[in-house]
Amino acid sequence: MMKIKQFFLTTIISFLFGFLIGVSAGLVIGIKVTKQSTERQLVSSTVVLDKIKDQSFLVTRTIVTEQSTTINIDQGSAWSNFWWGHEITAEGLMQVDIGVDLGTITEGDIRINNENKVIEINLPDAEIYNTSLEGSIDVSTKSGILKKLFASDDNEDYNLAMSELAKQAEDSINSNEELLSEAKASALSTLQAIFKDTGYSVKILE
């Protein structure tokens, strides 16, 4: 009977000893994992810069605008224009992509607040990324007699018209400060998505 009691006592002590070792090991592992997790969550300006530059130019707004133009190629006098004068009339829809060039951002434009988990970025002003024709372009010409007979060039007329329509569209965008400000502010939502997995929020510095 005594031996049975000793056996049970030994078993219980062994069980408790094993349990305590397991709990202690679990606590040590838990602390280590938590520490590693915290370290992973902390970001630096270098990490932020690498993530941003992966995006290169960030297009935040696309504007489609109808443009029309008349190009007069004046030969200097009514007589010369009669023979060699040229007028090009064109209209079409132009698409203008606007956004922020993230490639110009440096580490000096980035501030990290690890305590509050906030990334502050000084973004460059919004600018035009690309201008293109949306659909077709309508081009008509009026030419002097000799110009029409000996120097007519439809490709040149098209290129001149296209260049002028693009310039007008870009001028209208660049003169609209409110639109450019909105395009810059619109970058915030994309930046928030880029850094969502870090647990940090993003703020654009003014």
Residue 28 has pLDDT above 60, yes or no: no
Whether residue 30 is found in the same domain as residue 105: no
Q: Tell me the per-residue pLDDT of 52-106, one tens digit each, with 9 for 90 and over.
A: 877 789 999 999 999 999 888 766 666 555 554 678 889 999 999 999 999 999 9
Burial class for 127, CB neighbours closer than 10 Å (0-12, 13-18, 19+): middle
Whether residue 172 is found in the same domain as residue 88: yes
Q: Please give the pLDDT value at position 3.
A: 44
Whether residue 179 is found in the same domain as residue 195: yes
Q: Tell me the per-residue pLDDT of 129-167, one tens digit each, with 9 for 90 and over.
A: 999 999 888 888 776 554 554 456 678 888 888 999 999
Q: Could you tell me the two tokens for 54?
A: 């992966």
Number of domains composing the chain: 2
* Angle at 169 (CA atoms; ends 166, 175), nearest 5 degrees: 135
Mean pLDDT over each residue of the chain, to the nearest integer: 78
Q: Please give the pLDDT value at position 148.
A: 56
Q: Please give the pLDDT value at position 30.
A: 46
Residue 9 has pLDDT above 50, yes or no: no
Whether residue 51 is found in the same domain as residue 85: yes
Whether residue 19 is found in the same domain as residue 118: no
Whether residue 11 is found in the same domain as residue 50: no
Whether residue 101 is found in the same domain as residue 24: no
Say which range, 35-39, 117-121, 133-137, 170-174, has the weakest mean pLDDT. Answer: 35-39
Which three-class secondary structure state does DSSP give residue 6? helix
Concatenated DSSP letters of 89-158: EEEEEEEEEEEEEGGG--GGGEEEETTTTEEEE-PPPPEEEEEEEEEEEEEEEEE-HHHHHH---HHHHH
Whether residue 31 is found in the same domain as residue 126: no
DSSP-derived pairing of the beta strands 110-113 and 118-121: antiparallel
Q: Please give the pLDDT value at position 144.
A: 53
Whether residue 81 is found in the same domain as residue 166: yes
Whether residue 58 is found in the same domain as residue 36: no
% of the chain surpassing 90 pLDDT:
46
Q: Which residue has the higher pLDDT, 204 or 20?
A: 204
Q: What range does the domain containing 13 cover?
A: 1-41
Whether residue 19 is found in the same domain as residue 78: no
Q: Which residue has the higher pLDDT, 162 or 11?
A: 162
Whether residue 15 is found in the same domain as residue 70: no
